[in-house]
Structure 1
Amino acid sequence: MTNTLRPVTGKTRVLAILADPIHHVKTPEDMNSLMTELGLDQIMVPFHVKPENLASVVAGLRGIESLDGFIVTVPHKSSIIELCDTLSPAAKMVGAANVVRRTKSGLHGDILDGVGFVAGLRNAGIDPEGKTAYLAGAGGAANAIAFSLAESGIKQLTIANRTCSKAELLVMRLREIFPTVDFRVGSPDASGHELVINATSMGLNENDPYPLNVESLTADQIVAEIIMQPEYTSLLKYAEKLGCTIHFGRPMLKCQIEYMAQAMGIDTQTHQQNRVQK
């Protein structure tokens, strides 16, 4: 993808990404490259939004006529669903959204974290089907990843969260939808699982604690992140020194970019075909 952006004019359509913090996000780079490659007069800009200001910011975005939609990331994925007018079946099931599109009916929310994460694993030669997995976190991204892992045919999934009740609630919901999968509520101990996933925000900052007990890790495990910046979180550094196979957070986004564009009404396939014909 090219990194040369098209000129921004009064006709340029705008997309946004909402996060707190915002410095670590990579979506604008990839989305802007995709839209430039497709020859679209659109641009994505990052907005740093505190949780207490989310509702007022979204209300303001509704009034921007040149705004086609926005991406939502940590910590707003669960809160945003209350601010949407309609939700996709996946967003309703997960209880979170990470992409919001303006439609004739208002703001429509969808969730793509899970499908993006599983696609990233598979692109790296890691197939979740039949595996046992440990998932740290029970927030918006963790919910989406848990559902997609279950859909992918995971054998057993243990979910651990600092607030245990959130993990218990997630496990209860998953058991109702996927009765053949062995779901468990876990502790910080990740031993005995083939795939270990950090789906929390712990690791964004240098002084963050580990999202799990790293002393429980063993060299035969695959340790995966959803955090993209820094690329090497403290968890991945520890796991790599231990001899574990590590999986970075960036592939989850890479696999989501086209899905995100399509979710916001961009017909990527048609635009690609038109450019090839030209």
Structure 2
Amino acid sequence: MQSHISGTTRLYGLVGDPLSSAKSPQLLNRLFLEQRADAACVPFWVEADNLSAFVSGARAMGNLSGMLVTMPHKQRMLAFVDELDSTAREVGALNVIRCEPDGRWVGAISDGIGCVLGMQWEGNHPANKSVLLVGAGGAGRAIAFAVAYAGASKLTISDVDEHRARDLAASVAAETGRAVRSGPSDPDGFEVVINATPLGMKASDAMPVDPERLAPGTIVVDIINAAEPTPLLRAAQARGCRTQDGGPMHQGQALYALRFLGFDYRPEGRAGVDVGAT
């Protein structure tokens, strides 16, 4: 915990419900210590029904400089910011807010850029590859835009809600000019498969794709950040696929979010990557 908190300390928060497994406060406070910044990050446990009341109080704090936003507030918080960067406008959600000195709150989302950065770091860049994205929810929506902007030659979006997948595919195609469509979750014929669903967080979960349909050499990315490989990744490894867990994406998210907040964060071993924060 910070040992230098004083009356001049700038506050950063993590807003969500629940926060029992949150790691962002430790990451930010370690960074603040390393950079000798007069700043501290604290968790703000806010239930959905109390979000409006929380924002009213937070707006009155003159020393609040920014917030990370997690579930279930990524979309609800849109109504309480003054400005959105291009990522948040396209995706329709945010997970980081910069509180400007003039009182304006500016929102962005790091999920999609974080995923692509993580893939790039691991040598799994989606450029010029055919990509199957399973999951068109909050994270999946952000990843769809980022993968298309990164130059995927073909992007297919699959979701249990076919209407949601179709609407997202149309939006991404219109915004990016890339070849994007919705379709089934059959991984056969794709060079990259990304699981952006919660499937795999529990041992009893169904597989997001049929691993028997994965060709050896396929890049399989599961954004779930767990201590052990998910069942999908284990099955993909057994098929001779290249696999990537949620760790690199988490690092990429942190890099983008912290740059957006004005901090020079460089994950260990991840030098040489430049992401501009608006």
Is the pair's TM-score, using the shorter chain for normalization, greater than 0.5? Answer: yes
Partner of 2:98: 101
CA contact (8 A) 1:191 1:216 kept: yes
Distance 1:194 1:136 in 2: 14
Residues 219-244 of structure 1: CA distance to partner in whole angstroms, max 9, x if unpaired? 32211122223452332233223332
Which of 174, 179, 182 does residue 172 from structure 2 map onto?
174
| Shift of residue 193, structure 1, vs aligned partner | 1.2
Structure 1 counterpart of 2:30, one-letter code: S
Structure 2 counterpart of 1:116, one-letter code: G
Partner of 1:223: 220
Structure 2 counterpart of 1:142, one-letter code: G
Distance 2:170 2:198 in 1: 23
CA contact (8 A) 1:204 1:230 kept: no
Q: Which has the higher contact order (CA 8 A, sep 6+)?
A: 1
Partner of 2:260: 263
| SS in structure 2 at match of 1:7 | coil
> Closer, same or farther in 2 for the Cα pair 1:44/1:165, shift >3 Å?
same
Residues 143-196 of structure 1: CA distance to partner in whole angstroms, max 9, x if unpaired? 2211111111101111111222111111111121223x2212122322221111
> Closer, same or farther in 2 for the Cα pair 1:254/1:183, shift >3 Å?
same
> Closer, same or farther in 2 for the Cα pair 1:16/1:241, shift >3 Å?
farther
Aligned CA-pair RMSD: 2.5
Gaps of 5+ in 2: 267-278
| SS in structure 1 at match of 2:22 | coil
CA contact (8 A) 1:196 1:221 kept: yes
Which of 111, 116, 119 does residue 118 from structure 1 map onto?
116
Partner of 1:17: 14
> Closer, same or farther in 2 for the Cα pair 1:5/1:208, shift >3 Å?
farther
> Closer, same or farther in 2 for the Cα pair 1:52/1:31, shift >3 Å?
same
> Closer, same or farther in 2 for the Cα pair 1:205/1:43, shift >3 Å?
farther
CA contact (8 A) 1:137 1:198 kept: yes
CA contact (8 A) 1:112 1:256 kept: yes
Gaps of 5+ in 1: 270-278
More deviation, 56-65/108-117: 56-65
CA contact (8 A) 2:113 2:256 kept: no
Distance 1:203 1:67 in 2: 36
1:141 partnered with 2:139 = yes
TM-score calculated relative to the size of structure 1: 0.84
Partner of 1:275: none
CA contact (8 A) 1:99 1:111 kept: yes
| SS in structure 1 at match of 2:254 | helix
CA contact (8 A) 2:132 2:185 kept: no
How do residues 118-267 of structure 1 correspond to structure 2 at under 5 angstroms? 118-179=116-177, 181-266=178-263
| Shift of residue 209, structure 1, vs aligned partner | 3.5
TM-score calculated relative to the size of structure 2: 0.84
Distance 2:156 2:45 in 1: 33
> Closer, same or farther in 2 for the Cα pair 1:183/1:43, shift >3 Å?
same
Partner of 2:88: 91
Identity of aligned residues (%): 36
